[in-house]
Amino acid sequence: MKRLVIIILIAFSYTITAQEDRFYIRTVSNAIEIPVKTQDSVVTYTGDDLRLKTLFEKHDVKVFRKGFKYATRDKLKRTFYAIAATPAFQQELKMISPDIFEFSESITAQKLQIYEPNDYGVTSTTGQNLGAPIIFDYYDFLGVPQAWHYTTGSPDIHIGISDGYVDPEDPEFAGKLTMVKKSSLSGGHGFTIAAIAAAQGDNAYAGAGVCYDCSIKTTTYGDFKEFNQLLELARSGVKVINCSWGSRIYYETAQEAINEMRDLGTIIVSVPHNAPYSKTNGTQLRYPGAYEHVLSVGSVQHKYDTIEDGLNIEEKNGKYYAEKQQYHLSRTGGFANNDPKDTYRLYLSSTNNLDTTVDIVAPGNDIFQYYKFQKNGEIAYNPYQATSPAAPLVTGTIGLMLSVNNDLSVDEMSSIIKLSATNIDHIKANEPLLGLYGAGSLHTGRAVKMTHEMLQPDSYTLLENQNFTRWNFSLRAPYKVLIKNEQFREAARVDFTAKEEILIDTETVFLPDVNGSILLTIDPEATYNLQKNN
């Protein structure tokens, strides 16, 4: 075994093979309609414009429809999604009818590495939705379709749900759910949490969970001193357990139970809870979220990428505010001098509790509430920010990771979630909360892609664009690792072992203090035990 650090710059090249042309095309006005009908995967234009009629008859067009049905931005409202046999259709549309179309762009081969099930709601871009008309924009924000390109989950992976009763005969859980301990209904909390993590996908019903082909084991919640119900799941082979609940009281026996579950290879995903940060000021710890070796998940916004899209004004006092800004930690915020062009500041009263034990944040409001659908067919979303629905997004992501590599340790699961997260330190409005929102915003697509790449002899496991000053990071046996524009400083502790290479870009910084350490090892004998997945 040898330890090796190599400083090198490398360049990547991609080859794009011939394939169908998938593209977005935008009309010059929202008033323009493009009436079409689709039969046997052939799109026919049914309007009066002879130019369009001729083009649709000339070319093999498989899909042509509004790409963003529930969009609020003007340009997205005018954007259509299309699939044609060749790029000629797109080119001729723009050339022959500039009075109708002002812009188009093809979707590259890299972006096409996605999969969407037949119950992906109204946000589906690749096929017709056969499930409920659900807005899954938070899945797009997390890159879940990119993760589904690699796996939709394995029935051999059981996700633990400790959040209330879930009916084993429910259409989204039938044939895949084992009730280990019966729980109270708890207002349907268990139904919704289980659905976010692992509701069955591709079954033309309701909507898909993150790890929709994974199995589920359910138990009750509570038992704050000993976590016996969680230990029972861990001893049965469950590797990830969701706990969207907690208590303010620390118990050493509970920490020891967490330690034992870590030794068994089981990670607990929990929350810092929903109290407004304006009241807790980051000092109110909640358990099990705050225990060591637990992933604590706070909430972040995913809806709007500009202030203009989320801008509102209070009728009573004429005060401007914005809401649901992507990667911001509050649901709402205001402006200096009541000027929407001035500095945007978070309203901490609409920020959920955060603290120094939080590891990651994930979307926490406007999440589909499955129990209301199950109860009365209602399509409903939680309007206010919460941490309970954020946690199962992480739990489902880990289920996908385990479906790729069931031999990941607890430390590796935690490391991959953090190493693949989106850094949100650059968002000025978040600055008052620096150090309280963990590694940033969950990205399911990158987490699963990283897990996949670790097992590929010809791929580099890419770590980039993060700045860490704490936590222990562990990768046991990827083939190759590339560290690019990444910082590990102060109390960050790195222990990476690769089978072949560890390449370090010149923009990477290793600067640990007395509490941190950097250990990079090349070990050709390092391996994962993947026999159990075969």
Task: Report the distance separating Cα 333 and Cα 498, nearest Å.
Answer: 44
Given the residues 189, 328, 443, 452, the one annotated as active site: 189
Active site residue 186: no
- Cis peptide upstream of residue 98 (ω within 30 degrees of 0): no
Query: Which distant-in-sequence residues (6+ apart) come within 8 Å of 415 by Cβ?
Result: 471, 472, 473, 474, 475
Question: Is the CB of residue 277 less than 8 Å from the CB of residue 303?
Answer: no
Distances (CA, A) of 461 to 260, 262, 456, 466: 30, 24, 9, 15
Q: Say which of 119, 137, 140, 163 is annotated catalytic.
A: 163
Query: What are the C-alpha distances in Å from 420 to residues 44, 122, 389, 412?
Result: 43, 27, 20, 12
Q: Is 170 a catalytic residue?
A: no
Please identify which residue in the block is written with the tokens 């479906």.
403
- Please say whether the beta carbons of 292 and 359 come within 8 A: no
Helix (H) / strand (E) element for 100: namely none
Q: Is 189 a catalytic residue?
A: yes
Pair of tokens at residue 209: 């969970």
Residues 356, 282 contacting (CB under 8 angstroms) = yes
Nearest in space to 398 (alpha carbons), one of 244, 239, 271: 239
- The 10 Å Cβ neighbour count of residue 407 is 18
The DSSP H or E segment spanning 88 is helix 88-96
Task: Please give the positions annotated as active site.
Answer: 163, 189, 388
